[in-house]
Amino acid sequence: MAVIALFRLARAGYVMAREGVFGIVDLPDLPSAQRYALRLVRLLERRSARDKAADKRLSDALTRLGPSYVKLGQFLATRPDVVGRDMASDLTALQDQIPPFPMDAARKVVEEQLGKPVESLFETFGLPVAAASIAQVHPAQVRDRDGHLRDVAVKVLRPGVAERFRRDLRSFYLIARLMERFHPPSRRLRPLAIVDTLARSVELEMDFRLEAAGLSEMGENTADDPGFRVPLVDWPRTAKCVLTMEWISGRKLSDVDGLAADGHDLQAVGANIIQSFLRHAVRDGFFHADMHQGNLFLEPDGTLVAVDFGITGRLGKTERRFLAEILFGFITRDYRRVAEVHFEAGYVPSDQDVDVFAQAIRAIGEPIHGHDASEISMARLLTQLLEVTELFNMRTQPQLIMLQKTMVVVEGVARTLNPHLDMWRTAEPVIRSWIERNLGPAGRLQDAAGGLTALGRLAADLPLMADRAQRLSGELERMAEKGLRFDAETAEAIGRAEARHSRSGRLALWVIAALLAIAVFG
C-alpha cells in the first residue's frame, strides 16, 4: 500500500515539476539536501511554465492532478497558518475546472439513489449547469401537491469520486508522516491532523444528506432573521448521492454591476452580509464556511440567499465566550485579560509567561485605537492574533482558523459592494446582543442553572460582569462614533512580523514540495 502511495506521490511530483511549481521555491530557505533535489527536479520544468505567475503554476498543477488535489488546494486556502497568507489568498481563487460527466451517468445515479426512474421523479431534468470536483448541478422541475410546476436544483455526486479520494488521501497521509518525521518545525502545525480534517471534510461533503441537514439547520436558525435565507430542501428526492433543493433565481453577488443596475442598495447589502455571518457564528455557533460571491445570491426583494453548504464551521460555547472576552479586551485595552483568556482556554501552554504574552497582545491592540473604523478589519485583527500566538507555542485551533478565514472572505465580499464599509459600526448591533447575553448577568445566570457552585460564582462575579458588559457597550458606541488611534511605529512592527509569518508559512508548503521531489528521485 505504501509503495502505491509513493508511486502516486512520484507522479504528483512530476506533474508539479512540469508545471513549474518548484521554480517558485525560495531555495535558501531549504536544507542543502532538499535544495539539491529541487535543482534536479527543475530540469523537468516546461519552458512555457516559467512565464506563469506563482499562483497560476500551482493551480494548473492541482487541476491536472485531478479532483482530489483541487479539493486539497481549496482546503489549504482555509489554512493560512499552514501555507502562509499570500499563498492562501492565491489558492482561494482556485476553482473546479472539471468537465461535466455524461447525462446517462447522472440519471443512473439519481435512479439508483432514489429507487425510481427519473421521469417519475421529475417533470423535466436538464443538462448540467455547473460541474465541480465532487458533483454537478442539473436544473429540473417537479409538481407540488396542487399540481403546480416548481423549479428545483438537483446536485448529483460524480461517479467514482469517493474511491478516487480514498486513493489520493493515502498519498496525503504519507506526505504528512514524512513532514512530521523529517521536519520537526512542522509538527506544531500537526500535518497528520490537517489531513485527518481534510479526509473528514471530504467524507462529509460527499454525503449530501448531511449538506441537506446543514441547510435545514441554518434555515431554522435564521427563520426570523431579516434579509437572509437558504434554499428549501426537497427531502423525498434527496439521498446520499443526490440533493434536490429549491432553485434560486436571484443574481450572484459576483455581478456587482448587475446588482447596481437592478436598483439594490449595495451598502445595505454589504452590511447584511456582515451581520448575517456574525449572527450565524456568534449567536448560533454554526456558519457557512465558504461564503464567497459564487455561493451568494440576491433576490429581487433584497434577500440574501446562501447556497452550497458542503463546508460549514462550528464554534462551541467555549470558543464563542473566548471570542467575546477577546473582543472586550481589545476594545477596552485590557491586554492582560486577553492574555489570561488564552491561558484559561488552554490555547497557550501554562509554562509560557502571561505577562510577556500580554505584551505581545498589546503590539496588536495598540495600532487599532484611534484609527478610522472603516479601515479596521476584524478578520485582520484575528489573523494577527493567531500569528502572534505561534511565538508562544499555541497549538493550531482549526475551529478558530476556519472562523478567521471565513471572516476574511466575508469581509472581502462585503467590501466589493461597499469599499468604505465600517466593520465596527456594522457589527455593533449583533456584537452588543452577543456580549450582553454572554458576558452580562443573563449569561452568568444561564451558567448558574447547572448547580450551586456556579451560583456561588455568579454571586461573586455578578457586579463585575454587569460593569464589564456596560463598559463594553459604551466602548462599542464610542468606537463607532470616534474611531481609534493609530500608532505608525507599532503598525510597522506588526507588518514586519506578518512578513516573517508569510515566509515561514510558505516554507511549510515548500517542504511538502521538496518531499515530493525526493519521492521522484529517492
Q: Which residues are catalytic?
A: 290
H, E, C per residue of 273-328 = HHHHHHHHHHHHCEEECCCCHHHEEECCCCCEEECCCCCEEECCHHHHHHHHHHHH
Distance between CA 423 and CA 378 in Å, rounded?
7
* Nearest Cα residue to 88 out of 61, 54, 45: 54
* Nearest Cα residue to 55 out of 31, 27, 84: 84
What does the DSSP 8-state code read for residue 227? Answer: T
What does the DSSP 8-state code read for residue 158? Answer: P
Task: Calculate the CA dihedral of residues 370, 374, 378, 382 and round it to 10 degrees.
Answer: -50
Helix or strand holding residue 128 (H, E)? none
What count of other Cβ atoms lies within 10 Å of the Cβ of residue 250?
18
* Nearest Cα residue to 139 out of 151, 149, 157, 156: 151
Distance between CA 108 and CA 123 in Å, rounded?
17
**DSSP-assigned states of every residue in 393-425:** TPPP-HHHHHHHHHHHHHHHHHHHH-TT--HHH
Q: What type of residue sits at position 495?
A: G
What count of other Cβ atoms lies within 10 Å of the Cβ of residue 273?
28
Helix or strand holding residue 376 (H, E)? none
Q: What does DSSP say about strands 228-229 and 304-306: parallel, antiparallel, or unpaired?
A: parallel
Residue for cell digits 485582520? 380
* 53, three cell numbers: 505567475
* Nearest Cα residue to 424 out of 375, 495, 351: 375
Residue for cell digits 473582543? 327
What does the DSSP 8-state code read for residue 246? Answer: E
Q: What type of residue sits at position 322?
A: F
